[in-house]
Amino acid sequence: MDSFLDLGNAVAGFLGNIGIGFGVALSWQNILLCLLGCLLGTMIGVLPGIGPLTTMAMVLPFTFWLGPVGAMIMLAGVFYGAQYGGSTTAILVKIPGETSSVVTILDGHAMAQQGRAGPALAIAATASLFAGSIVTALIAAVGPPLAAIALLFHSADYVSVMLLGLVSAVVLAHGSVLKAIAMIVLGILFGLVGTDTQSGAYRLTMGIDALFDGLGFVPISMGIFGLAEIMYNIEHQARAGRISGTISGLMPSIKDLLACLPSMARGTAVGTAFGILPGGGPTIAAFSAYSLEKKVSRTPERFGKGAIHGVAAPEAANNAAAQACFIPMLSLGIPPNALMALMIGALMIHGIQPGPNIIAKQPELFWGLIASMWIGNVMLVILNLPLIGLWVRLLQVPYAYLFPTILVFCCIGTYALNSSTSDVLIMTAFGIIGYIFRKLDCEPAPLLLGLVLGPMLEENFRRAMQVAEGDWSVFVTRPLSAAFLAVSLVLLIAVVVPGIRRGRERAFRE
Amino acid sequence: MTAMPAFRPTKNLLAALMFIVFALFGLWLARDLEGGGASDMGPGYFPRIVCIVLIALGGTLAVIDLMRQGEPPEGWAWKPMLLVTTSAIAFAFLLRPIGLVGTIAATTVLASAAGTLLRPLALALLVAVLIAVNVGIFVVALKMPIPLWPSVL
């Protein structure tokens, strides 16, 4: 009976919180920001040569003027908007806006070639909305209890859970795991530059005044994901898209929709699991959903030749996974990927320390963001279908116009944040460093994770060791911490064992 | 031209070298920072751990790569890299003396030279649009104190 009452209370509390969220998200300013973010995200997802990371890095300085809630709402909009845009180009021109829409090409582009681009686009949008709505509800339900658990963590547990987060992120990085780990550590090292918060000593600053406050998150990400991308893309001449098939009859038939419903549900389940589970992500989720769909299908031979289920399932899965990765970010303060690291960077610009406290201390932020994700998903479907013609025309914008524009925005955005020309120079230096990374096949995304988590890691590490009076065994004697470390170790071993590694490489080669 | 070197470093070897160089530089910069003990860490304790871990990772990467020959790195495109870099540096140094309008023009033209050059008219149009948009956002909407024109005027 008691537990039943508790459940009733929990539901009432949940509904109350959702109410707060919609109250925040439905203010005209936040609706506008959500819309702006979604549109910008879609546009960028469509344009060749600019990924969501670059865009979010470019939007970051602007969000400084918005206040934390507006900033998060807009950045999240850019993030899932880019997912939509990415699948649009995957279907129409065979260019995946993101690696997570690579699978969509297989059947989506085949459909487009058969003149069924409209239904393919529509089913992709519907599947994303379906998945987005379910996962948003899940974040609302799971986030608070998870954060409540995390609040019980001691410093040692927190260190271990951060290590687990970093290891998980690395396990599915492209290419060499060893390099990805080294990139994280390098990011931690860059994060150490500046004033030590505990002793006030200047560290690794080379005596340069501009570095006393540390290497900013914005100049580093703009340099690596803005300038370096431009250099690399000019060299590899970003491909101009060619549209195949005419787009007519946008709406999928009711029959198509009903037929795809089970695929969407399966895709959402697979995507959510991969989004939350350590080591998951939108890309692997989309691949897994696709192969699952092929296995359960009664007509597997139609896959790759324009099967509508082959669009619905991976699109639901990548959107589900993309949104599910907000769960560790919002409830634990641990970014599972570089995009979430950027979101945390945005919070830190506003002076909000990410971590399990966010939900309790900033309810408007957490619930407002969740409500806005719901609204944004709906807006995307409503807006995108009529706007597809515009997106298609955008695709034909030559890169020669794009990259000077990106460059100017990177410069002025970086400058504007602190009115600092040294930040522009730091950004430039990281442009060169980022270009070297690209040339040496060092995936730069893990570096951002290290950069964001580094300071938190050090702080908790120092505190844990202080409490334990310098006894290193504290990390294995505390059960929680030991469990996190054990899982990290298992994950690492799993990657190093050849059989699993081969499977993983196969998933990425496609 | 000199003869082809007999030993061509691979991507992974160069990456390992890069990690180690960064770490050694970090150790050198942290040389005067007080380390302290494990129970009472000074500002230098954690940086040293990080650098040592990075050296270990770089070393492992190098050893693995030497055991199985990896790919050599692809060529280095100097022109886009230098021009993109120059245009960003130009932005940093021109903004205060000549103001936003001239700076955006210079940055855009320099950047544009890094890739396929636009026709003069198209370039002028791009410059005009970028100036209008950025002045609109930063000076008019966000009211940032950025000078528009050279201060001498």
How is chain A split into domains, by residue range?
A: 2-26+43-509
**Mind telling me how many Å the CA of B2 is from chain A's nearest CA?**
24
Q: Does A402 touch chain B (CB under 8 A)?
A: no
| Crossing angle for the helix pair A479-496 and A177-192, to the nearest 10 degrees | 130
SS3 state of residue A195: strand
When CB atoms are compared, the residue of A178, A411, A412 closest to B57 is A178
pLDDT means per 10 residues, chain A with 510 residues, are 62 81 88 91 76 80 85 89 80 72 83 82 87 88 86 88 82 74 94 86 85 86 89 72 53 76 91 71 81 84 85 89 85 81 86 84 88 88 77 78 89 88 94 94 86 88 89 89 90 70 50
| Interchain proximity B84–A441, CB inside 8 Å | no
In this structure, what token pair is assigned to residue A105?
Answer: 């090409």
Q: In angstroms, what CA-CA distances link B96 with A256, A379, B91?
A: 59, 41, 9
What residues pair up with A145 in beta bridges, in sequence order?
A: none
Residue-level pLDDT at A243: 53
Interface test with B, best of A29, A178, A222, A229 (most B CBs within 10 A): A178
Distance CA A250, CA A257 (A): 13
Compute the radius of gyration of chain B from its Cα atoms.
24
Residue-level pLDDT at A52: 74
| Interchain proximity B22–A428, CB inside 8 Å | no
Contacting residues of B for A212, CB less than 8 Å apart? none
Q: Residue B119: is its pLDDT beyond 80?
A: yes
| Interchain proximity A185–B53, CB inside 8 Å | yes
In this structure, what token pair is assigned to residue A348?
Answer: 């830190």
Domain ranges of chain B: 11-67, 78-141
Contact by Cβ (8 Å): A285, A323: no
Interface test with B, best of A411, A453, A496, A501 (most B CBs within 10 A): A411
Chain A residue with minimal CA distance to B111? Answer: A404
Q: Does A250 touch chain B (CB under 8 A)?
A: no
The residue whose two tokens read 């290290």 is A450
**Mind telling me how many Å the CA of B38 is from chain A's nearest CA?**
4
| Interchain proximity A199–B60, CB inside 8 Å | no
Q: Which of A121, A118, A55 is nearest to A87 (CA)?
A: A121
What torsion, rounded to 10 degrees, do the Cα atoms B43, B49, B55, B58 define? -120
| Interchain proximity B122–A441, CB inside 8 Å | no
**Mind telling me how many Å the CA of B152 is from chain A's nearest CA?**
20
Chain A residue with minimal CA distance to B106? Answer: A408
Residue-level pLDDT at A1: 46
ipTM: 0.92
- Give the dihedral sign, CA B37/B39/B40/B41: positive
Q: Residue B136: is its pLDDT beyond 70?
A: yes
Residue-level pLDDT at A510: 44
**Mind telling me how many Å the CA of A18 is from chain B's nearest CA?**
32
| Interchain proximity B138–A416, CB inside 8 Å | yes
Residue count (chain B) = 153
**Mind telling me how many Å the CA of A193 is from chain B's nearest CA?**
9
Please give the backbone phi and psi of residue B34, each rounded to the nearest 5 degrees, phi first. -70, 130
Residues 439-468 of A with CB under 8 A from B: 439-442, 454, 458, 461-462, 465-466, 468
Give the contacts of B49 (CB within 8 A, at least 6 positions apart).
Answer: none
In this structure, what token pair is assigned to residue B57?
Answer: 């990772």
Distance CA A119, CA A117 (A): 6
Cα distance from N-terminal residue to C-terminal residue, chain A: 54
Contact by Cβ (8 Å): A204, B26: yes
Distance CA A288, CA A285 (A): 5
Q: In angstroms, what CA-CA distances link A248 with A118, A129, A210, A252, A389?
A: 6, 21, 56, 11, 10
pLDDT per position as a tens digit, B41-72? 889 999 999 999 999 999 999 998 888 777 88
